[in-house]
Amino acid sequence: MAQPPPAVRRKRWLKRILLSLLAIVLIAVFVLWWMISAKPDYWHVLDGSHAEVRTAGERVEQTVSSLITRVRPTDQSWQLPLSDKNINHWLAARMPNWLANQNIDPSIIAVLRHAQVHCEPDRLLLAVQPDLGVVSPVIELTLVPRPSDSGAVELYVKSAKAGVFDVPIDTIIEKFANNRSVPRELTLEVPLKDGREVQVTDLGLTDSAMMLTCTTRRVSRR
């Protein structure tokens, strides 16, 4: 059989090369998309309007509110146990309205719309899925407890991930803070309307649960 002319062979060779390159690019794009869109194993979006979720979220809020506002001897320690499930039901059912009542910027509420937590020994994982258009990766923050100057525990943002990629914390803040000053730590202190303050003095984290040790104290006014 006669060989095709050199020009034809070159075209066929070039076509095979281009098709191979296209296949490699498509595979790379798919892998990159998968890596960005990968979600944590614990990620499961809850419908806050669902009756069971709403009831569970309200029950958690009532229990926590009752414990926090209870009249106690000054500086008496008390404990509050919470599970991932408890917290996530509250986040789905009650947090959006609670944030709105605190006059939190709607853009922040939108970022936190699907917030979920997962407890592991000595660290707390917080995941959110902001709407970024075509790709909406789950952003996972790793928070670790540490003592603050006031004696209360503070949660420090140690690292962040988008999918399986590590992301600089400053990049996350710049993307979602809208030029607001956003600290990398949250001090666990809750002021009460009657002039008292609840401090979380210890935060024990285990698999899927946390134990908060708290103290209620009177805040001195100058």
- For residue 203, CA distances in Å to 29, 86, 120, 122 come to 42, 16, 12, 9
DSSP code of 40?
A: -
Cβ partners under 8 Å of residue 191, min gap 6: 197, 219
Residue 174: band (very low, low, confident or very high) from pLDDT cuts 50, 70, 90: low
pLDDT for the residue numbered 85: 95
Residue 161 has pLDDT above 70, yes or no: yes
Q: What is the pTM of this model?
A: 0.79
Closest to 138 measured CA to CA, from 110, 160, 157: 160
DSSP 110-156: HHTTT-EEEEETTEEEEEE----SS--PPEEEEEEEEE-TTSSEEEE
The total of other beta-carbon atoms located within 10 Å of residue 196's CB is 17
Residue 178: band (very low, low, confident or very high) from pLDDT cuts 50, 70, 90: low
Contact 159, 172 (CB under 8 A): no
pLDDT for the residue numbered 180: 55
pLDDT for the residue numbered 1: 55
Average pLDDT, the chain: 84
What is the arithmetic mean of pLDDT over 132-147?
84
Residue 69: band (very low, low, confident or very high) from pLDDT cuts 50, 70, 90: very high
Q: Tell how far CA 96 is from the center of its chain.
A: 14
Between the CA atoms of 14, 17, 20 and 22, what dihedral angle is there, to the nearest 10 degrees? -60
Residue 24 has pLDDT above 80, yes or no: no
pLDDT for the residue numbered 181: 55
